[in-house]
Amino acid sequence: MVASSRPMIMALVALLALGLTATLVATSATQESAQGQAQAQSEPVVIRGQLLRQGPIAIYIHSFPYSYEAAQIEYYSPVVVSLSVWGASPKDPVLVYVDGREPVRIEEPGFWQLQLELAEGYHYVAITCRYGIFLTSTFYVKPPEVRPAEETVPWQEVQAMLEALRREVWRNCLIAACVGVALGYGVKRASKIEFYQLYLPFAALLIAGLTPYTFPNLYWLSVLGLTAMLSYHFVRDFAEWRGYMYFTPSRAAGDVFPLSGEQYIAGLRPLKEILLGKGLLLYKRFIVHDAATIEFEFAGEVYTLYVLKSPNDVQETEDAFILRCSKYLAKALIRADVLKVVDKELSELKVEVMAYREMIKTAAFRAMAVIDEFFATTPIDRLTFLNVDEIKQELKQRVMHELGQLPQAQAATPVAPQAQGGEIRHGEESH
């Protein structure tokens, strides 16, 4: 199923990548065009880099508006006129006329910049001196741009919007969680048992909801996928689990298998058959020859095991799952109470280990008490005459004497849990 769905997933990923690439390219082109237009509007075209001379006076034009007749260019107010002047003096000033008004006098060399605040319409500007005219221009000043006022939202409305968004998110997530639980339950009911391949659609929903491009609008898909996965995992299987056991010279082994009614669940159908509506599961006939079973209880559950002689008694064909049982071996197991004996031996071993642990703790405390009593009751002048070996020998004798008086630990006979002996069925059972 995984291999069959891989081309479809790769095709969807390719289409998604192409769409995202086209969107990014269009956005980038739009931004570059807008930046180019804004740059063209923010940098007006003016006359620059001209050195002009009249008599002993020279000027260098840094910025001067074009005449409207020479270039169809319009300017925003203020219009900037900047120039460098050499040879100007109070007797030979440089004059800047604007619309015939009283001129601006430049009476000393240096760099000068004039900002002309002008109304909408045609205007005239000229730079002259008494020796002649340097430069003139008739240009048009267009009205200033009217920018829309910035929209403001009151803080109360922002809080109300956030609260409404929070409620919407909680509502959508709650609905998605309920749908996810129902979806996981429905898939588990359809699949009878847990199949890891069926986690893939839920994982796809989870990833789609967490993708940065879809998260703002499809965040609830992550909740849907997660709750569906949890529901599918924790819902109890709708199939009956049975098992079989066989014996080898060194050990006993076996396995379990699922049944739906009287049919063996062999697995999932191929993806193509599922899409064609042939069903989700692949069933096979369940056939048992000389049916012989035993039952035992474990963790509150009763399990049915078919008793076989060897692993060769298990056969699976294209349309059937076949077991060949040994009724004599099953009868022998029940008569020998194998399960009871094993359970009893384990219980006795557990009780014996617990008793030995308690006995070791008691012996350690008694030995410490003997050593403490020896040093507390022995006079100090006697201890000074004894060497280390003599003290060790004395302590050893007292501790062994004290421990020899301990009663031997008697492990209580455990009561083994009652194992249910299997019921023997004879003859041929075919499902």
Residues 6+ apart with CB under 8 A from 79: 65, 115, 116, 118, 123, 125, 139, 141
- CA distances to 172, 223, 228 from 214, in Å: 15, 14, 19
Residue 36, classified by CB atoms within 10 Å of its CB into exposed (0-12), middle (13-18) or buried (19+), is exposed
pLDDT of residue 408: 47
pLDDT of residue 216: 85
Residue 40, SS3 per DSSP: helix
pLDDT of residue 188: 92
Give the whole-angstrom CA distance, residue 155 versus residue 303: 66
Tell me the pTM.
0.47
Q: Extract the tokens encoding 291.
A: 């049916």
Residue 337, SS3 per DSSP: coil
Run of H or E including 123: strand 121-129
Where do runs of H (alpha helix) occur along 77-154? none
pLDDT of residue 411: 39
pLDDT of residue 228: 92
- The letter for the amino acid at 31 is Q
Tell the residue number behind the tokens 């699949």, with chain if given.
Answer: 191
pLDDT tens for the chain, 431 residues: list them: 334 444 444 444 444 443 444 344 344 444 544 454 444 444 456 566 778 888 898 999 888 887 777 777 888 888 888 889 998 888 889 999 888 787 888 889 999 888 888 888 888 889 899 898 888 888 888 888 777 777 788 888 888 899 998 899 899 989 999 999 999 999 999 998 899 889 999 999 989 888 888 888 888 898 999 999 999 999 888 888 888 888 777 777 888 888 888 888 888 888 888 888 888 888 899 888 877 777 766 666 777 888 888 888 888 888 899 888 877 777 766 665 555 555 566 666 667 777 777 777 677 767 777 776 776 676 666 666 666 677 777 777 777 777 666 554 443 444 333 434 444 444 444 44
Give the whole-angstrom CA distance, residue 346 versus residue 419: 14
- The letter for the amino acid at 29 is A
- The letter for the amino acid at 49 is G
